């Protein structure tokens, strides 16, 4: 895992560069580095450690109007300083940061060794730097040297380059790895992810594969793979959707849980004008005409797709749901005239983008549902729906999951012309505010279970779908082992795992299944399990742990139950002293391992 950022501006860049690098940093990153350029020259600082350790190395007086920085989780057992980015070529012609995976790096290195180059590190980045230096012609424009190197590199990568003696430009190249360029009155910024720079720009451009160019303090010069200059088209992003301030909250996860009602309101405002739904008529026709709908997603987005599957099956569509990392190896085509629905909060998940390329080879249509307009997935799709959830900083997705289900509910309502869904969602908003006001009750439940070795979540129908999300949220934030089962399946083997005081959490929202679920509850209590029941008011019994009294439709229960589960996971994680916003081994968008 790794990422980089560069900034060139009309004012000093250190504070903004390091602030963004801190947001970009993955919990297990083991190295960071930064290069500043000013009138005195280049100032390089690197550390085997995190951003906080890097900051201590940088003298207070050192700053500049340009800089590049990198954070990384290395592929080596033990990181060493020689491999920390940025890295320079042998004679200092160019200094680089790179993200991605270059397939022919060893072949290039052998060729450079024969040409007399020696290497101080075992990093592929130093190989690329020397390749650029080796191909440069005296007094040549650095852009041509970079382009010449790109023609020899095989694989997926994005890079930033600073050339010696040219400290007013950041050069870049992109091929298959996310890269985002932003601008505002104060300068230009370039990054491998949107979130760290969401508060540093007003407009954004997402380079295409094969493009390269350079940034100055007030401009971007862009070229295609044949060195033909192109005019980029920047996309504006509203200020209301990119707020990163933590405010009085102790963690972003808690802040983002409690932003859920506003997310639903924003989606209603964007997709309903007061009298009718505002979905593209072409999209609606495509869904109606599709022989099969196939959802492909990963993690939390996959769990939201389970709910979407039920919505569209109720519209009498043939619907399948696949995990992206599995489908890419077994790309089963479910039927003729398939519409693929790819869901990704970031729009940059590596497995999703691999699936996208395979689907493109089929010639099939893609609907992208994502939270980031300037993402590969959004820009590449035939049909597009934005989640409008605002920036999500915490690795554990909360409000984006709520947005995904809400958007799918609105889409279904448009398909069946059901205006009453808007009133139903208004009641969901009221219910969420009620849950927020009772979060201490959920904390008390977390206080009961956070020391448990195992926790089980059970439900049927929509309640099972949210149980799958609930167990994931608890696992990834608290590191407690958790599993989800369809209500009756607990009796077909897993019940052997139940011991005295084992937490078993039930969701109940459906009149069709409530009696059968209550029977399983009785079985669990007979075995002295710690039974916790979260129910909608029409189906509650005395002794239920958390009752949602607002009149919620069963098909919206995953939204309200999800917020209960998010709070539960959050408080368990806090009780255990976990790093709530950056759980171990996780990153916001799962990308391919870096060079």
Phi, psi of 152 (to 5 degrees): -100, -15
Q: Are 571 and 466 in contact (CB under 8 A)?
A: no
Q: How high is the pLDDT of residue 240?
A: 46
Q: How high is the pLDDT of residue 390?
A: 87
Average pLDDT over residues 263-280: 94
Residues in the chain: 595
* Chain segment 412-437, per-residue pLDDT in tens: 999 999 999 999 999 999 999 999 99
Task: Count Cβ atoms within 10 A of the Cβ of residue 106 and give its class: 0-12 exposed, 13-18 middle, 19 or more buried.
Answer: exposed
If one counts every other C-beta atom within 10 angstroms of the C-beta of residue 129, the result is 25
| CA-atom Rg of the chain in angstroms | 26
H or E element in which residue 304 lies: helix 299-313
Q: How high is the pLDDT of residue 336?
A: 78
Interior CA angle at 323 toward 322 and 328, to 5°?
A: 90
* Chain segment 237-270, per-residue pLDDT in tens: 654 444 567 888 999 999 999 999 999 999 999 9
Distances (CA, A) of 134 to 91, 109, 356, 382: 10, 11, 36, 42
Lowest-confidence region among 244-253, 355-364, 397-406, 543-552: 244-253
d(CA 305, CA 327): 14
3-state SS class at 24 = helix
Is the sign of the CA dihedral 6, 12, 15, 16 positive or negative?
negative
Lowest-confidence region among 54-63, 96-105, 191-200, 258-267: 191-200
Q: Are 291 and 316 in contact (CB under 8 A)?
A: no
Strands 212-216 and 219-223: antiparallel
Q: pTM surpassing 0.85?
A: no
Phi, psi of 35 (to 5 degrees): -125, 125
Q: Are 100 and 155 in contact (CB under 8 A)?
A: yes
Domains of the chain and CATH, by start = 2-237 (3.60.20.10), 242-418 (3.40.50.10490), 431-587 (3.40.50.10490)
3-state SS class at 119 = coil
Give me the numbers of helices (H) and strands (E) for the chain, helices first please. 18, 25
Q: How high is the pLDDT of residue 77?
A: 55
Please name which of 588, 592, 563, 353 lies closest in space to residue 476, comparing C-alpha atoms. Answer: 588
* Chain segment 471-487, per-residue pLDDT in tens: 999 999 999 999 999 98
Q: Are 270 and 388 in contact (CB under 8 A)?
A: yes
Helix axes 439-449, 557-575, angle to 10 degrees: 60
């Amino acid at each position: 895992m790794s990422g980089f950022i560069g900034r060139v501006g009309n004012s000093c860049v250190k504070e903004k560069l390091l602030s963004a690098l801190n947001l970009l940093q993955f919990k297990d990153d083991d190295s960071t580095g930064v290069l500043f350029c000013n009138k005195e020259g280049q100032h390089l600082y690197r550390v085997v450690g995190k951003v906080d350790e890097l900051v201590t190395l940088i003298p207070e007086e050192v700053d500049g109007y340009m800089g590049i920085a990198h954070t990384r989780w290395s592929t080596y057992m033990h990181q060493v300083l020689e491999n920390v980015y940025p890295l320079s070529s042998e004679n200092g012609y160019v200094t680089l940061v790179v993200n991605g995976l270059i397939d022919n790096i060893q072949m290039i290195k052998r060729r450079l060794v024969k040409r007399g180059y020696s290497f101080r590190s075992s990093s592929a980045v130093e190989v690329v730097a020397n390749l650029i230096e080796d191909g440069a012609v005296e007094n040549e424009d650095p852009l041509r040297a970079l382009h010449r190197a790109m023609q020899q590199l095989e694989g997926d990568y994005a890079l930033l380059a600073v050339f010696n003696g040219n400290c007013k430009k950041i050069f870049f190249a992109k091929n298959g790895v996310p890269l985002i360029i932003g601008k505002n009155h104060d300068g230009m910024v370039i990054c491998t992810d949107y979130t760290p720079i969401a508060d540093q720009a007003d407009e954004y451009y997402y380079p295409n594969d094969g493009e390269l160019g350079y940034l100055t303090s007030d401009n971007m010069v862009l070229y295609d793979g044949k060195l033909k200059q192109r005019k980029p088209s920047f996309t504006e992003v509203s200020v209301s959707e990119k707020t990163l301030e933590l405010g009085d909250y102790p963690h972003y996860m808690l802040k983002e849980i409690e932003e859920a009602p506003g997310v639903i309101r924003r989606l209603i405002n964007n997709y309903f004008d007061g009298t009718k739904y505002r979905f593209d008529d072409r999209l609606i026709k495509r869904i109606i005409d599709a022989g099969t709908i196939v959802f492909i997603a990963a993690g939390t987005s996959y769990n939201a797709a389970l709910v979407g599957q039920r919505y569209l099956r109720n519209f009498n569509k043939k619907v399948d749901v696949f995990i992206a990392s599995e489908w890419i190896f077994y790309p089963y085509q479910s039927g003729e005239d398939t519409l693929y629905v790819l869901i990704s909060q970031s729009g940059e998940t590596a497995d999703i983008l691999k699936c996208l390329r395979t689907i493109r080879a089929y010639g099939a249509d893609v609907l992208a549902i994502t939270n980031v307009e300037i993402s590969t997935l959004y820009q590449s799709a035939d049909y597009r729906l934005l989640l409008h959830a605002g920036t999500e900083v915490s690795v554990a997705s909360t409000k984006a999951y709520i947005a995904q289900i809400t958007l799918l509910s609105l889409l279904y309502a448009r398909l069946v012309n059901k205006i009453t869904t808007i009133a139903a969602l208004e009641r969901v908003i009221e219910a969420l505010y009620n849950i927020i006001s009772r979060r201490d009750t959920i904390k008390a439940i977390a206080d009961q279970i956070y020391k448990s070795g195992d926790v089980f979540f059970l439900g049927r129908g929509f309640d099972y779908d949210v149980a799958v999300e609930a167990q994931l949220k608890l696992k990834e934030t608290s590191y407690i082992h958790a599993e989800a089962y369809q209500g009756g399946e607990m009796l077909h083997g897993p019940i052997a795992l139940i011991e005295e005081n084992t937490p078993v959490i039930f969701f109940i929202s459906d009149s069709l299944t409530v009696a059968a679920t209550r029977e399983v509850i009785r079985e669990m209590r007979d075995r002295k399990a710690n039974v916790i029941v979260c129910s909608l008011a029409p189906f509650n019994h005395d002794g239920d742990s958390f009752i949602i009294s607002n009149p919620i439709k069963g098909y919206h229960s995953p939204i309200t139950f999800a917020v209960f589960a998010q709070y539960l996971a959050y408080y368990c994680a806090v009780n255990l002293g976990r790093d709530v916003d950056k759980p171990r081994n996780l990153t916001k968008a799962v990308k391919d391992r870096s060079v």
